[in-house]
Structure 1
């Protein structure tokens, strides 16, 4: 999937940002600011590293970064991204305990 962001300013992968948005909803965070405050701890960062596959992730993206990224994506692109993420989770057996 083509990244709509300016390539010279990218710090976080598309997977980092997409999974962060999903985690926000799964964890019941009602606002972006609330998510920003509660997600910047070692456990959340480690979880996002596992889900996104970005082992070099050192901190959670700021909520403004996530908002900017989501604004740039078309609904079709978001739908395709969601499908790819689910397939990746199933293929990687991320749900096995």
Structure 2
């Protein structure tokens, strides 16, 4: 009996790779090189996970709900960004008045 195989293809260039199902991690899409990844960001409320070697040499991506820990990290990163932007505006305003 021939083992079952599945074909995974790059979402951009359609390069394919045939693999056993146990070697393929479930993802929303697959890509063969970095520039071929998903375009745009994930839908609102979701975060994007990149899976290295999800299907042989292909990377995979999936949009998932963030965990509590991931959401805390996202909020903290946004706070740091807002503080940095505010500091830059203040510094730029101070440079122009001299």
Q: Provide TM-score, normalisation by structure 2.
A: 0.30
Q: Which has the higher strand share?
A: 2
The answer to which structure, 1 or 2, has the higher relative contact order (CA under 8 A, 6+ apart) is 1
Q: Provide TM-score, normalisation by structure 1.
A: 0.30
Q: Which has the higher helix share?
A: 1
